[in-house]
């Protein structure tokens, strides 16, 4: 029990450090993507953090197995370099027992990843997609910043606000330029400029949203013509959008496990196998990582790091490639993706028992040679 606690502590801190670094790198890249969309007015600033929080379980279900794999390589490799493993072997801790002890945290992590992949990640993806869809459906006026130009997603409306009183919900000195093509055969867009001293939002009982502008002017210009129309108004109301409708279709990766179980399509079956594969992957990579962590003190702890990472990437890449091939009909769906786990489980068996087999074979050969000599 003392040995198990010591190994678990070493493995925990190494896995935590590696997983934290990988999570930071992945989250930072996604955060910059969403932040750039917020900078141009496509997302609200507060929505960026909510989207990242919803997406975090989806990131962790891929990061944690790699973190555990690299944690074993780093922690056990250090113990081999400092001859701690030699002491443990002298105390009766063989490589088979080391694998068995390592499987305890591996199975615990497998259950955590199963909870992520089957329940938490689909729910988070649905919430994130709904939030992104809501942001995309917004007119672009909800994410305005003072003294900055904002354009809608179709590029036909550009808005500028000099100041915003958030407490009163009032925009001051509002300018809106709209490019409106009334007939398809027209060569140029009609330009409509709206200027208002104040602007505010209003929502009716049906959920429809309006922009109400006060004390302003409206200019209408036809490009290529010197004529333009001008009118003044005390109050001008623009309908922004209808109430948000529910998302009609959800991607197969974002559907709940219950919905996938009720779906008999090939895509649903493959997605269920993929979610189960994320659980099965953890004990298999641990089974491979323990023998790969064994290094000679003269060789250094990073000698097997690159081949081990390449082996892990080959495992994950093959899983994803087979999943995509089944969805596209290139591989029969009856074959499934579980054979990939069997293939790399055999690789783990070879890594664990092949050196022992060669050692016993060499010993028998030496015994025959010495017997023949006597």
* CB-CB contact of 288 with 351 (8 Å): yes
Question: CB burial class (10 A; 0-12, 13-18, 19+) of residue 205?
Answer: exposed
3-state secondary structure of 159: strand
Q: What is the CA radius of gyration of the chain?
A: 31
Domain-embedded: residue 371 = no
Residues 7 and 92 in one domain: yes
Residues 329 and 191 in one domain: no
Please give the DSSP secondary-structure letter assigned to residue 291.
H
Q: What domain range is 345 assigned to?
A: 2-136+250-366
Single pTM value for the model: 0.70
Residues 123 and 266 in one domain: yes
**How many angstroms separate the CA atoms of 251 and 58, rounded?**
14
Domain-embedded: residue 123 = yes
Domain-embedded: residue 65 = yes
Residues 28 and 126 in one domain: yes
Q: Output the tens digit of pLDDT for each of the chain's 374 residues.
A: 678 888 888 888 999 999 999 999 888 888 887 777 676 656 676 778 888 889 899 889 989 999 999 999 998 888 888 888 878 878 777 888 888 888 999 999 999 999 999 999 999 988 888 887 776 655 445 556 677 777 766 667 788 888 887 677 788 888 888 876 554 445 556 788 888 888 887 777 776 777 888 888 888 887 767 777 888 888 888 776 544 444 445 678 888 888 888 888 888 889 999 999 999 999 999 999 998 888 877 766 667 788 888 999 999 999 999 998 988 888 888 888 999 999 999 999 998 887 666 666 666 776 666 666 65
Tokens of 115: 């909870």
Residues 265 and 345 in one domain: yes
Residues 292 and 235 in one domain: no
Residues 255 and 345 in one domain: yes
């Amino acid at each position: 029990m003392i040995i198990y606690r010591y190994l678990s502590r070493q493995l925990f801190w190494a896995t935590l450090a590696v997983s934290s670094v990988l999570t930071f790198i992945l989250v930072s890249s996604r955060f910059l993507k969403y932040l750039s969309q917020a900078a141009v007015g496509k997302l609200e600033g507060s929505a960026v953090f909510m989207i990242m929080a919803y997406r975090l379980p989806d990131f962790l279900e891929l990061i944690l197995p790699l973190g555990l794999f690299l944690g074993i390589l780093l922690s056990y490799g250090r113990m081999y370099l400092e001859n701690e493993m030699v002491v443990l072997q002298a105390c009766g801790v063989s490589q088979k027992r080391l694998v068995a002890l390592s499987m305890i945290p591996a199975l615990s992590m497998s259950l955590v990843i199963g909870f992520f992949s089957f329940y938490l990640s689909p729910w988070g993806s649905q919430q994130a997609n709904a939030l992104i869809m809501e942001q995309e459906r917004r007119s672009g006026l909800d994410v305005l910043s003072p003294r900055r130009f904002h354009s809608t997603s179709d590029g036909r409306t550009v808005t500028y606000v000099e100041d915003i009183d958030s407490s009163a919900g009032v925009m001051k000195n509002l300018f809106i330029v709209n490019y409106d093509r009334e007939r398809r055969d027209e060569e140029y867009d009609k330009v409509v400029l709206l200027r208002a001293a104040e602007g505010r939002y209003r929502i009716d009982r049906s959920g429809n949203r309006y922009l109400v502008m006060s004390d302003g002017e409206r200019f209408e210009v036809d490009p290529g013509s010197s004529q333009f129309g001008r009118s003044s108004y005390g109050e001008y109301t623009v309908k922004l959008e209808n109430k948000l409708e529910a998302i009609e279709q959800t991607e197969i990766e974002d559907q709940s496990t219950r919905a996938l179980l009720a779906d008999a399509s090939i895509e649903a079956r493959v997605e269920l196998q993929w979610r189960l594969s994320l659980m099965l992957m953890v004990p298999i990579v641990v089974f491979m990582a323990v023998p790969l962590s064994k290094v000679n003190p003269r060789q250094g702890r990073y000698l097997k790091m690159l081949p081990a990472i390449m082996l892990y990437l080959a495992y994950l890449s093959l899983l994803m490639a087979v999943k995509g091939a089944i969805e596209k009909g290139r591989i029969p769906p009856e074959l499934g993706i579980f054979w990939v786990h069997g293939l790399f489980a055999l690789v783990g068996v070879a890594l664990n028992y092949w050196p022992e087999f060669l050692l016993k074979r060499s010993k028998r050969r030496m015994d025959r040679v010495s017997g023949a000599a006597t």
